[in-house]
């Protein structure tokens, strides 16, 4: 399987996103907060006259919060169900080819990682965790508000 993967760093860990799902990598500057939205929704931003819902991956993974006050953040733009999201990550590194199908991770991961995991893939850069973007966007279930 030669799926292309985008390697990003979240909370100090290198993980892989399916590159096909990522439309672009942008630098976010302004961020409009969304009051009362779930914590992992960092806010809204505009990209080429589109509204992006910005997801703080750190919060989504329950690893703490990304500090958004220092201005420019790197983010991967994805589209899910017709909505555009920007996933805030620490660093966007490179695109690599997957050398294997994802396989279950048998080691114990953090609860946040466990939730978004699609399994482990082999790459030239060693094994990486493949992230389920939709689950990343859904955020921690416990914190999702029903109302």
Partner 1 sequence: MDDLIADFVAECREMLEALGGEIVAWEAQPDDRSRLDSIFRFVHTVKGNCGFFDFPRLEALSHAAEDALADVRAGRRTPDAALVSAVLAIIDRIGEMIGCIEAGEDFPAGDDSSLIAALAPGAEGAAAPVAAAIPEGKGGAASAPRTIRLSVELLDRVMSGVSDMVLARNELARRLRETPTDVTVDGAFERLSGIIAEMRDAITRTRMQRIENLFVALPRMVRDLSAELGKQVLVDIDGGDVELDREMIEMIRDPLTHIIRNAVDHGIEAPADRIKGGKREIGLLCVSARQSGNQILIDIVDDGRGIDGKKLVEKAISSGALGKAEASALSPREQLALIFEAGLSTAKEVTAISGRGVGMDVVRSNVERIGGIVEVDSKPGEGTRMTLRVPLTLTIIPALTVSIANQNFAIPRSAIEEIVRVNGESVTLDHIGGAGVATIRGRRVPEVSLAEVLGLESIVAANEGSLIVLRPAGGDVYALAVDRIHDHEELVVKPAAPAVMATGLYAGTTLADDGSPILLFDPAGVAQVGGVKLEAQERTARVVETATAVAQRDNSVLLFRGLDGGRRALRLAIVDRIEEVERKAIRKAAGQLRVQLGDTILPLAGAEALEKGDEKVRVFRLNDGNHEIGYAFKEVIDLMPMDGELIPADNPGAVSGVTLIGGEPAELVDAHWLFSNHLGAAVKPADRGVCRLPSDDPWMQNMLRPIVEAAGYVVIGEEDELIPDLVIASDGKQVEAADKAKVIVLRSDPEGEDGESIYRYDRAGLLMALKAASGRGK
- The position carrying tokens 């799902």 is 21
Stretch that binds partner 1, among 18-26, 65-73, 124-132, 137-145 (CB under 8 A): 137-145
Please report the sign of the dihedral spanned by the C-alpha atoms of residue 105, residue 120, residue 54, residue 73: positive
Contact 99, 16 (CB under 8 A): no
Strand, helix or coil for residue 126: strand
**25 versus 37: smaller Cβ distance to partner 1:** 37
Residue 83: HSE in the Cβ half-sphere, 13 Å Cα cutoff: 14
Q: How far apart are CB 35 and partner 1 at their closest, in Å? A: 3
Q: Does 87 bind partner 1 (CB under 8 A)?
A: no
Q: Which residues contact 46 (CB under 8 A, 6 or more apart)?
A: 30, 52
Please report the sign of the dihedral spanned by the C-alpha atoms of residue 38, residue 84, residue 88, residue 133: positive
Q: Which of 25, 37, 105, 109 binds partner 1 (CB under 8 A)?
A: 37
Stretch that binds partner 1, among 8-16, 20-28, 81-89, 104-112 (CB under 8 A): 81-89
Q: Contacts with partner 1: how many residues (CB under 8 A)? A: 29
Q: Which of 2, 49, 69, 142 binds partner 1 (CB under 8 A)?
A: 49
Q: Interface residues with partner 1 (CB under 8 A)?
A: 30, 32-38, 40-41, 44-46, 48-53, 81, 83, 85, 137-139, 144-147
């Amino acid at each position: 399987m030669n799926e292309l993967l985008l390697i990003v760093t979240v909370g100090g860990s290198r993980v892989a996103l399916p590159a096909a799902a990522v439309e672009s990598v942008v630098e976010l500057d302004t961020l409009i907060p969304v009051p009362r939205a779930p914590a992992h929704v960092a806010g809204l931003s505009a990209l080429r006259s589109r509204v992006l819902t910005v997801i703080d991956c750190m919060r989504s993974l329950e690893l703490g919060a990304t500090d958004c006050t220092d201005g420019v953040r790197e983010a991967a733009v994805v589209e899910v169900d017709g909505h555009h999201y920007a996933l805030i990550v620490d660093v966007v590194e490179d695109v690599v080819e997957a050398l294997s199908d994802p396989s279950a991770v048998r080691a114990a991961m953090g609860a946040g990682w466990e939730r978004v995991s699609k399994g482990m893939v082999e790459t030239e850069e060693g094994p990486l965790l493949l992230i389920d973007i939709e689950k990343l966007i859904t955020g921690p279930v416990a914190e999702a508000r029903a109302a």
